[in-house]
Amino acid sequence: MLFEKRIIDTHFHIWDTDKFTLPWLSFFKDVLKTKYSLEDYAQAKKGYNILKSCYVEVDAIPEQREQEAKMAISLCDNPQNQVVAATIGCDLSAANFESYILKHMKEKHVKSVRHNFFTSDLTLTRTHQFIKNTQLLGQLGIMCDLIMDSNKMAYGINLAEKCPGTTFIIDHCGVCPINADVKAWELWQQGIKKYSQLNNTVCKISECGFTEPSYSWKVEDVIEIIRHCVNSFGEDRVIYGSNWPVCEITSSLGQWITAIDVSLKGCSQESLDKLFFKKCKKIL
């Protein structure tokens, strides 16, 4: 066993473009495959003590969102694999969102939803419909994943403030920008700090969403990113995620685990167990 600490992976993906259309994948055709299976995931995490996992939606086209949700739930229903929870895709601006989520909230495995904040109009997050739908999540006990560029975090912060009863998961360490200059670094730091000051937020220490294939990061490049997130949110509000296989654009599942371990050297075993396992288990 390369890494004996027990782990719950709150953020992994699989996909098959013969079944789902993923427009974004064309940008990474030279580094990501058109199909990743549970068998591929098992190989990637071999040697790491990952006991349970949460499937996270892969931004299939809207017409296939329902189909993907059903696929994710079927993974969770199969006792022969380690998938125990799902984050399904959604449109929080949709007038029919309530019927969509009420149908899926009956499935105990659906723990959170994720709206595509990268390609949608973020001003919609301040509309009555969007806020109402997001507040409904809290009423149903379902979380909302947030993933926004650091220069757009203000929209996420505002949404979390408007929906105090909903728990928000800040994906990928808040997407710290690659090789950030001083201004961009400070903007990201401030955003993370503002998120952490809200009582209804949790930070997912998942690979930072580095999506530039030419960028090959080293462990020392991400130490301050990880430390800032953990120091801001505290050990009771951080959870581990791999972001596999997207993490393979610039690194690997194992390198990210190593980066966290090195970054938090000196922390107690109890603190590390919270990040890698206990708090993940509580959420899922």
H-helix segments, 171-278: 182-196, 219-233, 253-263, 269-273
Q: What does each of the 284 residues of the chain score in pLDDT, given as a tens digit? A: 567 899 999 999 999 999 999 999 999 999 999 999 999 999 999 999 999 999 999 999 999 999 999 999 999 999 999 999 999 999 999 999 999 999 998 888 999 999 999 889 999 999 999 999 999 999 999 999 999 988 899 999 999 999 999 999 999 999 987 777 899 899 999 999 999 999 999 999 999 877 788 788 899 999 999 999 999 999 999 999 999 999 999 999 999 999 999 999 999 999 999 999 999 999 88
Q: Note the pTM of the prediction, 2 decimals.
A: 0.96
Please write the tens of the pLDDT for every residue from 81-140: 999 999 999 999 999 999 999 999 888 899 999 999 988 999 999 999 999 999 999 999
d(CA 144, CA 11): 13
Domain ranges of the chain: 3-283
Q: What is the dihedral of CA 170, 172, 175, 178, to 10 degrees?
A: 160
Amino acid at 33: K
Residue 116: name the closest of 141, 148, 76 by CA.
Answer: 148
Find all residues with CB under 8 Å of 197, minimum gap 6, and list them.
Answer: none
Of the candidate CATH numbers 3.30.70.2080, 3.20.20.10, 3.20.20.140, 3.10.129.10, the domain formed by 3-283 belongs to: 3.20.20.140
